[in-house]
Amino acid sequence: MDRQIIGVLLQPLKEAFHVSDTYLGFLSGLSFALFYVTLGIPIAAVSDRRSRRVIITLSMTVWSAMTAICGFARTFPQLVLARIGVGIGEAGFTPAAFTVIADYFPRARRAGAMAIFGVGPMVGIMSGLLIGGWAAERFGWRGAFWIAGTPGLVFALLVWATVKEPFRGMADGAAPPRHAAGNLLTSAVRLWRIRSFRWIALGSGLSSFAFFGFSTWMPALLARSYHMPPGHIGRILGPIFGCAGALGTVASGYLTDKLILRDARWSVWLPSLAAVAAAPLAAAAFAAHAPSATIALYACAYFFGIFFSAPTSSIVQSLVPLDLRARGSAWKLLVENLLGLGLGSQAIGYLSDRLAPIAGNDSLRRAMMFAVPAFLLPPILYLLAARYIQEDAGAQRGDDHRGGLNP
């Protein structure tokens, strides 16, 4: 919710600060993503050694507080700094959460568990659009940030009070790692040597480029092309994207859990097929000139576009060493969010500004259409990963159990 709310507020922020789409792309993308992905790795290193419950709670507290602080910004640079604070807060959450889930659930149920976890962000997207649009109309963009930031502080206390810390390797019956994973450079080299891991990371990064880039700018597209107010946009996109995203996340996790019993490579084959399905739907959405057609077609593209998340997050936990699970997730998220949250939003905003002299108010639509082929690049990388998944996963199972099984 704290991440998505910026999308429905882009047009009000453009009018308030009189900035270009390139600057708005930086605000919604790179300003968040650069700190989110770079700090995620050292914090993940701590997660591989220390209490993940503490890191998750602190992360939630920081990003929620910084979201509320965004509402106090008086200049655009101040808003950027507050947005950077949101990225810093979020940096430690996902890698730590993924490893907790991996320790609670065995491989055969892990994709489904990751999918249920992934429904949370979909609810957040829906809430960000609904609450952000409603609050922006009644209280202005400042009030929208204040309202979005407050609930996270309550949920941070709830996590602290209810989440238990599992021991590492519990669900896999593996002995907890006896040795530290090494420094950041050493761990990065170890991860890079896992061939399937590096192709999955790059593939999910390009999937994220298309998915997050389009989703960030969709509210602004409806505002400019169809003159919709923020509240109306939120009431339409919130439930549609929330439901489409949740269904896509759950469906991908459920199907992956079923299909990997036949072949582990379905963890990347399924996202490949979904990306190929998403591309023509997205192109048709941006080519349409009726709001109902644009929204309906993009909701279908959104459903298939999110298919990469749960399967790739799950398989990474089975490919990397037990003592590197948080860092493996962090490196994957670095590529994923730098390309997606960072460059995806930034590239579309920059392209929109370049097209403005010839396309006028339709420049954003044209920019989004030009970016559609990004959906077709991830399947190539996923297929490269598929060549090594079985070998890498088998090798990792042997390494995790070499020290002896837990009872």
Share of the chain above pLDDT 90, in %: 36
Over residues 287-301, mean pLDDT: 93
Alpha helices by DSSP H, 163-229 = 184-192, 195-226
Alpha helices by DSSP H, 227-344 = 230-259, 266-287, 291-305, 309-319, 325-337
Whether residue 403 is predicted with pLDDT greater than 50 in this model: the reply is no
pLDDT at 404: 35
Residue range of the domain that includes 385: 5-163+184-401
pLDDT at 406: 33
Which of 276, 159, 295 minimizes the C-alpha distance to 226?
A: 295
Rounded Cα distance, 123 and 297, in Å: 20
**Range with the lowest mean pLDDT among 148-162, 176-190, 240-254?**
176-190
In order, the DSSP letters of 316-380 are HHHHS-GGGHHHHHHHHHHHHHIIIIIIIHHHHHHHHHHHHHHHGGGHHHHHHHHTGGGGGSHHH
pLDDT at 407: 26
pLDDT at 271: 94
Residue 169, in any domain of the structure: no
Most confident of the following: 142-151, 237-246, 310-319: 142-151
Burial class for 16, CB neighbours closer than 10 Å (0-12, 13-18, 19+):
middle
Residues 201-232: tens digit of each pLDDT: 999 989 988 888 888 889 889 988 898 888 88
pLDDT at 399: 57
Residue 177, in any domain of the structure: no
Which of 250, 239, 188 minimizes the C-alpha distance to 45?
A: 188
Partners of 405 in the beta sheet? Answer: 174
Check if the beta carbon of residue 333 is closer than 8 Å to that of residue 95. Answer: yes
| Higher local confidence (pLDDT), 46 or 247 | 247
Over residues 169-176, mean pLDDT: 66
Rounded Cα distance, 111 and 102, in Å: 9
Residue 331, in any domain of the structure: yes
Residue 407, in any domain of the structure: no
Structurally, the chain folds into a number of domains equal to 1
Share of the chain above pLDDT 70, in %: 93
Whether residue 121 is predicted with pLDDT greater than 80 in this model: the reply is yes
Whether residue 371 is predicted with pLDDT greater than 80 in this model: the reply is yes
pLDDT at 405: 31
Residue 200, in any domain of the structure: yes
Residue 296, in any domain of the structure: yes
Over residues 257-268, mean pLDDT: 90
- Output the domain CATH number for residue 210: 1.20.1250.20
Residues 87-100: tens digit of each pLDDT: 888 888 888 888 88
Which tokens in the block code for residue 52? Answer: 């993940």
pLDDT at 88: 87
Tell me the chain's radius of gyration from C-alpha atoms.
Answer: 21
Partners of 174 in the beta sheet? Answer: 405
Residue 283, in any domain of the structure: yes
- 67 pLDDT tier (thresholds 50, 70, 90): very high
pLDDT at 64: 94
Which tokens in the block code for residue 240? Answer: 């549609």
Whether residue 248 is predicted with pLDDT greater than 80 in this model: the reply is yes
Residues 322-368: tens digit of each pLDDT: 778 878 888 888 888 778 777 888 889 889 999 999 988 889 999 99
Q: Residues, the chain, total?
A: 407
Residue 14, in any domain of the structure: yes
